[in-house]
Amino acid sequence: MTYPKIKVTPPGPKAKAIVDRDAAVISPSFGRAYPLVVESAEGNIVRDVDGNEFIDMNAGLAVCSVGHGHPKLKEAIKDQVDKFIHYSYTDFYYDNYVELGEELAKILPMGGDKKVFYGNSGAEAIEAAMKVSRWHTGRQGYIAYIGSFHGRTLGAVSLTASKPYQRRRFAPLIPGVEHVFYPYCYRCPFNLDCDSCDMACVDYIDDHLFHKYVPPEEVAMLIAEPIQGEGGYVVPPDAYFPKLKKLLDEHGILFAVDEVQSGVGRTGKWFAIEHWGVEPDIVCVAKGIAAGMPLGVMASKAEIQDWTPGSHASTFGGNPVSCAAALSVLDIIKTEDLLKNAEVEGGYIKKRLEEMMEVHPMIGDVRGKGLMVGVEVVKDKDSKEVASKETEEIMMDCFRNGLAIVNCGVNVIRWMPPLTITRDLIDPSLEIFEKALSKIEAA
Ligand SMILES: Cc1ncc(COP(=O)(O)O)c(C=O)c1O
């Protein structure tokens, strides 16, 4: 069977009707990519309400890690629904909550004992990290990155610095958050070359924050996405995190990694920070961990979670159906060798895009690890001028031709399919993307 299959140029009539109904009753606060109205999904294919079948490079926004409708996952969820759906862990106990903690402890990227806390979303995992880091250190301040995305609750959005509209009119946000430059070497804010700069962006934190106006002993944690997601799939150079961690250790500042998008196998390792061989103190996980069931995890070295009963909890957090789903996801990733698939197929996508970069004037940069690959679209390679409108047009053209793929940053197309993606779907996807790009270049 060959995909994609477009019967009517999307959005078709049924999709349009639902989009119109949405406008009447649903909050207009969402920043939609395009009018894909999903009816069903299977494997790596998404079917819309008009019968179009798209290749899914979105994985429901990096969530559907093991593909859509995986039989083992469905069975695990159904089995748990038959047993019981909820019994608040705020006050009581059940087994799979603990079992998931035990399984996570085996794969978390730090040594020693670990503890986990469950919420329902990425933002809730971040909020838990913000609270526990204050509790444990007795300090108030945070350091986060320009370009970062950590969620939309007031705490998480105080760390977020990706797009002005995410923060506009929501002030006052949490005080004491300092934002520093992310190591975005393609557009180095210091205009340096990352092969010879000796990680000047880490020195900046030391020289210009800690020696000028941010007493380091008042900073509870620094939080970093190991690969900046929403900010444009930006990959730090090899030397960055080791040097950063050294600086943080000198000042007793906790190192938290936001693996909400990059974690649970997406980059070919369980957690993206493993690519840098650095141990975090806190790890935040959501999205792919339960493949569509709501679950956010804040995990840390055990000694950090020294908070006392009543200090933090969540009624729905770690509900038994989500825990069953997460256990099944971990099992599927192991038994189907999906870390390997992410590494191999992600490597293939990156290589093919790098080849395109050689011949296409509007591809400025290709970067990523595993199945987290970004293509930066520019007006021309010399000026590196951001081509945001063109990126949007490429995305829309792909959509009309059966490739569900979205952008990030303002000019990056991101490739983040389910970890189950196969070559027979990658090749036509690359073809659709290249055609869309060529059209824009010709125009
Ligand atoms: C890196 C990162 N952190 C946090 C979040 C927030 O997660 P949620 O939307 O589940 O609150 C996201 C969501 O896109 C994310 O990509």
Domains of the chain from N-terminus onward: 13-56+337-442 (3.90.1150.10), 72-335 (3.40.640.10)
- Residue 173 pLDDT exceeds 80: yes
Q: Which of the four pLDDT bands, split at 50, 70 and 90, describes residue 200? A: very high
For residues 409 and 317, give the distance between their C-alpha atoms in angstroms, rounded to a whole number.
30
Nearest atom in ligand 1 to 124's CA: 11
**Segment 400-421 mean pLDDT:** 97
Give the Å distance between the CA of 104 and the centre of ligand 1: 19
- Please list every protein residue whose CB sits less than 6 Å from any atom of ligand 1: 121-123, 126, 149-151, 225, 229-230, 258, 260-261, 286
Mutating to test ligand 1, I would choose from 260, 295, 314 the residue with most ligand atoms within 8 A of its C-beta, which is 260
Longest Cα–Cα distance of the chain, Å, equals: 63
Neighbouring CB atoms inside 10 A of 135's CB total 17
For residues 437 and 278, give the distance between their C-alpha atoms in angstroms, rounded to a whole number.
37
Give the Å distance between the CA of 123 and the centre of ligand 1: 6
Unique residue bearing structure tokens 């990059």: 262
Mutating to test ligand 1, I would choose from 30, 61, 261 the residue with most ligand atoms within 8 A of its C-beta, which is 261
- 365 phi and psi, to 5 degrees? -155, 145
DSSP state of 209: I
Given its phi and psi angles, is residue 297 left (phi above 0), alpha (psi -120 to 50 degrees) or beta? Answer: beta
pLDDT at 294: 98
pLDDT digits (tens, 9 = 90+) for 155-170: 999 999 999 999 999 9
Neighbouring CB atoms inside 10 A of 123's CB total 22
pLDDT digits (tens, 9 = 90+) for 269-325: 999 999 999 999 999 999 999 999 999 999 999 999 999 999 999 999 999 999 999
**Token pair for residue 390?**
């063109």
Q: Which of the four pLDDT bands, split at 50, 70 and 90, describes residue 22? A: very high
**Segment 86-96 mean pLDDT:** 97
Nearest atom in ligand 1 to 148's CA: 1
229 vs 69, 330, 361, 393, CA distance in Å? 25, 22, 24, 20
Neighbouring CB atoms inside 10 A of 417's CB total 29
Helix (H, G, I), strand (E, B) or coil at 94: coil
**Token pair for residue 270?**
């369980």
Nearest atom in ligand 1 to 123's CA: 11
Mutating to test ligand 1, I would choose from 64, 126, 150 the residue with most ligand atoms within 8 A of its C-beta, which is 150
pLDDT at 434: 98
Per-chain mean pLDDT for the chain = 97
- Residue 1 pLDDT exceeds 90: no
Percent of the chain with pLDDT over 70: 100
Q: Which of the four pLDDT bands, split at 50, 70 and 90, describes residue 337? A: very high
Give the Å distance between the CA of 261 and the centre of ligand 1: 7
DSSP state of 288: G
Percent of the chain with pLDDT over 90: 100
Give the Å distance between the CA of 154 and the centre of ligand 1: 13
Query: Distance from first CA to last CA of the chain, Å, rounded?
Result: 33
